[in-house]
Amino acid sequence: MVVRLSEVWPVVGADRLLSECVPPPRFADVRFGTYRPDPDEPSQAEALAVLVARAEKLAGPRPAPSLWSRLRGRSESPDKPGVYLDGGFGVGKTHLLASLWHEAAGPKMYCTFVELTNLVGALGLRTAVEALSSYRLICVDEFELDDPGDTMLISRLLGQLVEAGVEFAATSNTLPDKLGEGRFQAVDFLREIQGLSARFDVRRVDGPDYRHRGLPVAPDPWPDEKVEQEAAVRANASCDHFVDLHRHLAELHPSKYGALLDGIETVAITDVRPLTDENVALRMVVLADRLYDRNLPLLAGGVPLDQLFSADMLKGGYRKKYLRALSRLIALARTA
């Protein structure tokens, strides 16, 4: 029986949000030893060495703070409490981040930036700080600030957790002092942005997108009839009209998009259309991330996936989000 995602209404509590803060299935088995730095891109080997050293530091039990450090409310470590991997798409940043999480001693957490903001929204800032202050390491993938509220929220969260001795690792396609640029008046929140930047040891990771080396173009879309027929013969497949799906996403909080895919092994979408509404496009970005996390093959009809976002969108403030989504959707379409 084919599932219609547009008819599924998942219920997700705060407990589930916290318990699911682990690397997604695609990165469940990655380790530093499985990362292959490109010999033509020395920054990849350098980033690997930095994270291996950080993992060695985090492999043992969390040291008890001295009375002096507790009174001052800060860590005694001279190192910055966070490491930040900045780079393009598909250069292995998430592989490295997940490897660090696997090597570190617990308690520890792994989430995307969207999942972190959703978690804090569900728990409240005070409860989130209380719940996370005992953690040794928090890994945040796709770190990005899209509005002033997120800037203030995450700045306060990180500040209080750093004082509690929590260490951070993050990946992004945007340097921390450029977060929010092009999306809101970052100058109004410069203090918060600079505060976030000062907490990270920034490491650049360069290289071409490994998912598309030699294959940068989206595969030809399938006829809608073939999409529906193929979904009908695949186990645990979903199939939705593109418009029905994105309208349904508008009625769900993004924290529920992962639960929407529970039990699904293949996703099929008919009549994919170019998007012109930024709100719809950003919801599709979150869905693309959850599909990619779960390594779900994507059967798609309609326009080629590389035409999903308009030319204006690909030039705007959310350009990097859209390019990441295209990179991931095209990779999933090729696996189908």
Of 4-8, 67-71, 295-299, the poorest mean pLDDT is in: 67-71
Domains by residue range for the chain, with CATH: 5-10+211-335 (3.40.50), 31-208 (3.40.50.300)
Quick: pLDDT tens for 250-295. 999 888 898 999 999 999 999 999 998 999 999 999 999 899 988 9
Does the pLDDT value for residue 44 go beyond 50? yes
Quick: pLDDT tens for 139-195. 999 887 666 677 778 888 988 998 899 999 988 866 555 554 444 344 444 555 566
Q: What is the pTM of this model?
A: 0.74
User: Is residue 141 a contact partner of residue 102, using CB atoms and an 8 Å limit?
Assistant: no
What integer pLDDT is reported at residue 202 of this predicted model? 84
What integer pLDDT is reported at residue 113 of this predicted model? 85
| Average pLDDT of the segment spanning 286-307 | 93
Quick: pLDDT tens for 199-221. 788 888 887 655 554 445 788 99
Give the tokens for residue 276: 């012109």
280 CB burial (10 A radius; 0-12, 13-18, 19+) = middle
Give the tokens for residue 42: 């020395």
- Within 10 A of 299 (CB to CB), how many other CB atoms are there? 24
What number of CA atoms fall less than 13 Å from residue 297's CA on the CB side? 14
Helices (H), the chain: 14-19, 42-58, 67-72, 93-103, 113-123, 125-132, 148-163, 190-198, 224-233, 242-249, 257-260, 278-293, 319-335
pLDDT class for 314, splitting at 50, 70, 90?
A: confident
